[in-house]
Amino acid sequence: MASTQGPPTSSTTLAGGSASVQTLPTIDIVVLVVYFLLVLAVGLWSMWRTQRSTVDGYFLAGKNMVWWPVGASLFASNVGSGHFIGLAGSGAAAGISPTSYEWNGLFMVLLLGWVFLPIYITSGVTTMPEYLQRRFGGKRIQLFIAVLYLFVYIFTKISVDMYAGAVFIQQALQWNLYLAVGLLLLITSIYTVAGGLAAVIYTDAVQTVVMLMGAITLMAFSFEAVGGWDALLDGYGNAIPSVRYPNSSCGLPRPDAFHLFRDPLTSDLPWPGMLLGMSVPSLWYWCTDQVIVQRSLAAKNTLHAKGGSLLAAYLKVAPFFMMVLPGMISRILFPDEVACGDPDVCRAVCGNPVGCSDIAYPKLVMELLPSGLRGLMMAVMIAALMSSLTSIFNSSSTIFTMDLWRHLRVRASEWELMVVGRVFVLVLVAVSVLWIPVVQASQGGQLFIYIQAISSYLQPPIAVVFFAGCFWKRANEKGAFWGLVVGLLAGFIRMVLDFVYPVPPCYEADLRPSVVKYVHYLYFSIILTLLTMGVVVVISLATDRPSPGQIDGLTWFTRIQRMGESSRSPAAEDASDMETPVGKTGEKEPERDASVSRSESHLDVTAADSSSKGHAGSHSKLTTAILWLCGMDRPKKSSGARQVPVEMPTCSLEENPLMSRFIDANLVVCMAVAVFLIGYWA
């Protein structure tokens, strides 16, 4: 299909502002404006109907979400612009193997809904570090994990999505990288600060529909342009650039491009590592990551949470068809640019001498789609970016506010927590921008591989500690803490070695140390898992057993105990903890446990009274409007009487038997589909 506005190779420079600025046709601008108005309308609607000036209202959307926005938000939070750019780029460079991450995640999101979520619900937590604090006691694990989560978000999520979105905008408009990033961040941070989790989830649902429509449209145009399925199978192996570095493998496609299971020693994704090493970081992401779990905790009951997991699992089948295969088609259609085999050519095409596979998806958009549809795909990429970043910003803000700030200021009022949570988003944005140049140069230009490598070094120790806490009652605080320390130290050393000794370009000899050269990051994930597990088991068995308060209602085997108790709410439990503080290690600490409890999801009487005195004065209409936009509704004037906290809704564990059987039947169908797909492409 002929391009209506296909820029030649010389005009696709990503390095800076040397190329002339392109302007979008009017119809594309109209499509983008309509998209932004739609998202704005949904955001405003969700802001009207949600109480954003309380902890539960802002961070957990009032715990009243139904299955379809939960599932759509799970998918949209996972599939950001880094997926569109990274998956398509890895498909162009290496074939279908990156799909294994998507289909592995399909099983893990189901594991979240059926296994992990009931534990989190009965424990009554808001954040994942808070769960570890309740399960193991003390404060050091909670603080350690909170800082680590923010570290992981910056290095593997925020900066990657910002870079991917900027790559797309560069291809479309030829803007400077940092100008594009700045505009994207301005829109996203304002949107997150104002909306809270409810606005994020509802707009995620809209953006999921936009993403699916646009991606399926581009997939159809791609297959038409390449000549169909058979042409893809035959053409990928011959998609070799006309200019290659002499006597090298640069620009050559992999012979095993259409296989998921690849050689255990010499391939880019060895099959033992794919089955074992990939599953542990995936377990961390789908079952213990704040970004994902926070959406499920916002569901009104476990049936809706399971339904959301099922919807997300079904949608995880789609990236293979919507991103990976179009990326491979892009290599066939534009081999000299997408598969460039000479560093000088790559530098001219995308500003990155190590490879240009990450431009595969935006190249399809700009070359194949007519005006109007091109605007739709720009909306898709912006939707993917915004849905992912808003989710990460909201969850990062939750962790910083609830796990770190409240540790520093135990008696912080709810008003203060809301302000701190919003300000931290802006700080996080600034730090993330500084990491973008490293992302751009990593892993031979394959963004998706960068993400997975870093994940394999940092996430297995965290996943092991959560797994031990949920399923082994004997695991204690000392074993969990030192398992984390040893595992993360080993992972951090390997990550540093990867940055010090990056993968050499295809035209250079590989002179890296053996531990980096021969131990694939997926194999290192297995080693890291076993190392951490060994430390947790040995130290836990050698030290004291955890107290009953650290087990009841906090593991898979004891969750029924709390479910079977009287209707004593977590708030009441925490209130009694305040009255009977205990100072022993591993048991609940005075006042701090109250500060991490759900009772702070309601307006504290003392904080309300003091806030009323500080904010009861008259405010202008402009000030009132700004406060409402930020979800900072000022407290009402105190009448002198003590305020009674209003109980917020709690995610229910009760399930309708008929609907429960229906959901379980869908679970079997979904897993059967996944097993068939993996077996077919293995």
Looking at beta carbons, which pairs linking 560-569 to residues 24 or more positions away fall under 8 Å? Answer: 562/122, 562/123, 563/122, 563/653, 569/598, 569/647, 569/650
Please give the average per-residue pLDDT across 256-278, as a whole number.
88
How do residues 331-365 score in pLDDT, each as one tens digit?
999 999 988 888 888 888 877 787 788 888 888 98
Confidence of residue 440 (pLDDT cuts 50, 70, 90): low
End-to-end Cα, the chain, rounded Å: 32
Q: CA-CA distances (angstroms) from residue 267 to 97, 239, 255, 518? A: 10, 20, 10, 11
Q: What is the pLDDT of residue 167?
A: 67
Q: What is the pLDDT of residue 429?
A: 74
Given a contact cutoff of 8 angstroms between Cβ atoms, the answer to whether 309 and 67 are in contact is no
Confidence of residue 406 (pLDDT cuts 50, 70, 90): confident
Query: Residues of the chain with pLDDT > 90: what percent?
Result: 26
Q: What is the pLDDT of residue 398?
A: 83
Radius of gyration for the chain, computed over Cα atoms and rounded to the nearest angstrom: 25
Round the average pLDDT of the chain to a whole number and report it: 77
Is a pLDDT exceeding 80 seen at residue 18? no
Confidence of residue 467 (pLDDT cuts 50, 70, 90): very high
User: Higher pLDDT residue, 351 or 537?
Assistant: 537
How do residues 165-220 score in pLDDT, each as one tens digit?
766 766 666 666 667 666 666 766 665 665 556 667 777 788 788 888 888 999 99
Q: What is the pLDDT of residue 295?
A: 85
With both helix axes pointing from N to C terminus, report the angle between 414-433 and 373-399 in degrees, rounded to the nearest 10: 120
- The rounded distance, in Å, linking the Cα atoms of 351 and 344 is 9
Instruction: Determine the 3-state secondary structure of 424 from DSSP.
Output: helix
Is a pLDDT exceeding 80 seen at residue 628? no
Structure tokens at 140: 């050091």
Is a pLDDT exceeding 70 seen at residue 649? no
Instruction: Determine the 3-state secondary structure of 649 from DSSP.
Output: coil
Assigned architecture for domain 62-241+268-544+660-681: Up-down Bundle (1.20)
Q: What is the pLDDT of residue 562?
A: 53
- The rounded distance, in Å, linking the Cα atoms of 417 and 399 is 11
Selection from 117-121, 297-301, 595-599 with the highest mean pLDDT: 117-121
Q: What is the pLDDT of residue 524?
A: 93
Q: What is the pLDDT of residue 555?
A: 93
Q: What is the pLDDT of residue 154?
A: 74
User: Higher pLDDT residue, 396 or 597?
Assistant: 396
How do residues 474-528 score in pLDDT, each as one tens digit?
999 999 999 999 999 999 999 888 888 887 877 778 888 888 888 888 999 999 9
Q: What is the pLDDT of residue 267?
A: 83
Q: CA-CA distances (angstroms) from residue 453 to 93, 107, 425, 465, 613? A: 16, 20, 26, 20, 52
Q: What is the pLDDT of residue 397?
A: 83
pTM for the full model?
Answer: 0.77
Please give the average per-residue pLDDT across 51-56, as a whole number.
52
| Number of residues that this document lists for the chain | 682
How do residues 61-97 score in pLDDT, each as one tens digit?
556 778 888 998 899 888 876 788 888 988 998 899 8
Q: Is 507 left (phi over 0), alpha (psi -120 to 50) or beta?
A: alpha
Q: What is the pLDDT of residue 2?
A: 35
How do residues 224-266 score in pLDDT, each as one tens digit?
999 999 999 999 988 888 888 777 777 788 888 899 898 888 8
Pick from 59-63, 94-98, 154-158, 271-275: least confident: 59-63
